[in-house]
Amino acid sequence: MTGTKLSRRRLMWAAAAVAAALTPRRPFAQPAARTAAAPGAALPARGEFVIRGATVLTMDPAVPDLTGGDVHIRDGAIVAVGQTIDAAAAQVIDGAGMICMPGFIDTHFHMWNALLRPFVRADVPALGYFPVTARLGPLMEPEDSYRSVRLAAADAIAAGITTVHNWSHNTRSPEHAAAELSAMRDMGMRGRFAYGTPVGLPDDEPMDFAGLARIKQDWMPDKDNLLALGICSRNLGALTIGGAAAASSRGVLTVEQIKRDWDGARALGLPITMHTSGASPITELERAGLLGPDVQLVHPLLTTPEERTILKARGVSYSTSPQLEARRAAQLGVIQLGELLEAGVKVSLSTDHIASIGCDPFSSMRVLFALHSHRIGARVPLTLKRLVQLATIDGAVDLGIAERTGSITPGKRADLVLVRTADTNMAPAGDPYEAIVSFAMPANVDTVIVDGRVLRRGGKFTAFDHAQIVAQAREAAFALRAKAKWPS
Ligand SMILES: [Zn+2]
């Protein structure tokens, strides 16, 4: 980047900041401000029910899997798991022919750009994910962010995801952050909101710590204990993917600039996530004393053995997004799942974004298993059960919420899905882990329960008008494109 360009960008940024300062503020963090696009229905109540006769995959070594087993849920908590549970007062959910498992935990998901789905082309570089998000992201208003996150949440819930780490690397203002959090809350998801920086922010500008502190004050602790807060950091060092468009949204910071942002987050007690899309930054981060168990990295493609030893020692976790990482050019690295597992590094699974791929944790497991088997499976055996662990309990460990979710354990919150095994792509089902990893897809997800609320039943939302969610996201997306006078 030239000095001239930088100063022009700075000027544009300053002008935008002035304009923002002159714009009357909407009531901050008020749910009512967001109800213009609200689903129009309250979340279902948490009741008492028992799932009967399901194949139960608990993902808890202390609670055996069951064939034809019951799960009893009351006031949002798992009360009991057993072969036959006596719960006369509970409403019955018939689990026959279904696999009951913990909901998926998606540890890296850019929900803010889901509504750009109509414009991104996987096979046309000029219309790739990075150019489209860099072009339209700066034009987004809080209402656009709200509609996008609601669209992404609907897709996630329908696919069986109950917890999401919302990686908001286009946090244009605290109002945008409040809009995204409102959408997560309105959709009833569990998750962490990672407060970021606006697309196009100059690298030498720090994060908006004052805005971050306000959001923390207004939203944390969440009264339902469903939502948590963190930050998403810009990148350390040069990127090898996405060119200038990626650099404008991800940043290309020095280690001093990274330290400034991370110190600010840590002063507020917030965890940190960062992409490693390029030459590995791990050694430099370690030299600066920045790594710790509050750090999650994303895209484990180019680590060295020494770096994996560091990650293990520091308790850093790594999120892999197999479907989109598999689309990268070979020289950008391979998914190092085998190496990370051998080194004892915490790993979890993620979608990344749904602007150019469907939200499908089953496919993520399937693709990861295929790539792993193809490259390193003979040396590092991987079971299908281990993949389901990565997609559930290991995600909870990554996000620091394993005491509350990630497995079907009495005392934990009830985040569960029921997957039909009688559908054409599944039947006749044999081993349940084989069925989940090799055959299942989102269309087989029958029932989704988050924190004891049944959000989806019989493959349909119980409280949301999906057609309205889609229509409002589409309307916002095309308005953004018109505002950008694009394509032109
Ligand atoms: Zn990402």
Give the closest residue to 382 by CA, choosing from 373, 390, 374, 391: 373
Find the range with the poorest average confidence among 230-234, 331-335, 388-392: 331-335
Q: Please classify residue 91 by burial: count the beta carbons closer than 10 Å to its beta carbon, then call 0-12 exposed, 13-18 middle and 19+ buried.
A: exposed
Find the range with the poorest average confidence among 40-54, 75-89, 368-382, 444-458: 40-54
Find the range with the poorest average confidence among 113-117, 229-233, 239-243, 369-373: 239-243
Ligand 1 centre and the CA of 242: distance in Å?
A: 12
Q: Tell me the pTM.
A: 0.91
> What pLDDT does 68 receive?
96
Buried b (16+ CB within 10 A) or exposed e, 317-344: bbbbbbbbbeebeeeebbbbbbbbbebe
Q: Looking at the predicted structure, is the pLDDT value of residue 469 above 70?
A: yes
Ligand 1 centre and the CA of 348: distance in Å?
A: 13
Ligand 1 centre and the CA of 168: distance in Å?
A: 10
- Residue 240's pLDDT band, with cuts at 50, 70 and 90, is low
> What pLDDT does 456 receive?
98
- Residue 21's pLDDT band, with cuts at 50, 70 and 90, is very low
What is the C-alpha to C-alpha distance for residues 264 and 430, in angstroms, rounded to an integer?
51
The tokens describing 82, both together, are 């057993």
The residue whose two tokens read 């997560």 is 184
- Residue 28's pLDDT band, with cuts at 50, 70 and 90, is very low
Rounded to the nearest integer, the mean pLDDT of the chain is 91
Average pLDDT over residues 385-401: 98
Ligand 1 centre and the CA of 252: distance in Å?
A: 15
Average pLDDT over residues 240-266: 83
> What pLDDT does 487 receive?
75
Ligand 1 centre and the CA of 23: distance in Å?
A: 31
> What pLDDT does 245 receive?
67
Ligand 1 centre and the CA of 359: distance in Å?
A: 14
Ligand 1 centre and the CA of 322: distance in Å?
A: 11
Ligand 1 centre and the CA of 110: distance in Å?
A: 6
Q: Is 81 left (phi over 0), alpha (psi -120 to 50) or beta?
A: beta
Q: Looking at the predicted structure, is the pLDDT value of residue 14 above 80?
A: no
What is the C-alpha to C-alpha distance for residues 338 and 84, in angstroms, rounded to an integer?
39
Ligand 1 centre and the CA of 109: distance in Å?
A: 7
Ligand 1 centre and the CA of 4: distance in Å?
A: 29
Ligand 1 centre and the CA of 11: distance in Å?
A: 28
> What pLDDT does 455 receive?
98
- Residue 300's pLDDT band, with cuts at 50, 70 and 90, is very high
Strand, helix or coil at 277? coil
> What pLDDT does 29 receive?
39
Ligand 1 centre and the CA of 299: distance in Å?
A: 8
What is the C-alpha to C-alpha distance for residues 268 and 265, in angstroms, rounded to an integer?
5
What is the per-residue pLDDT across 100-121, written as a single tens digit (0 to 9) for each?
Answer: 999 999 999 999 999 999 999 9
What is the C-alpha to C-alpha distance for residues 16 and 424, in angstroms, rounded to an integer?
54
Ligand 1 centre and the CA of 45: distance in Å?
A: 34
What is the C-alpha to C-alpha distance for residues 94 and 100, in angstroms, rounded to an integer?
11
- Check: CB of residue 299 under 8 Å from CB of residue 273: no
> What pLDDT does 242 receive?
66
What is the per-residue pLDDT across 84-95, written as a single tens digit (0 to 9) for each?
Answer: 999 999 999 999
Ligand 1 centre and the CA of 277: distance in Å?
A: 9
What is the C-alpha to C-alpha distance for residues 413 and 17, in angstroms, rounded to an integer?
42
Ligand 1 centre and the CA of 275: distance in Å?
A: 6
Average pLDDT over residues 13-18: 38
Average pLDDT over residues 432-445: 98
- E-strand ranges in 276-314 read 295-298
What is the per-residue pLDDT across 157-207, written as a single tens digit (0 to 9) for each?
Answer: 999 999 999 999 999 999 999 999 999 999 999 999 999 999 989 999 999
- Residue 482's pLDDT band, with cuts at 50, 70 and 90, is very high
Ligand 1 centre and the CA of 325: distance in Å?
A: 10
What is the per-residue pLDDT across 209-228, written as a single tens digit (0 to 9) for each?
Answer: 999 999 999 999 999 999 99
> What pLDDT does 239 receive?
64
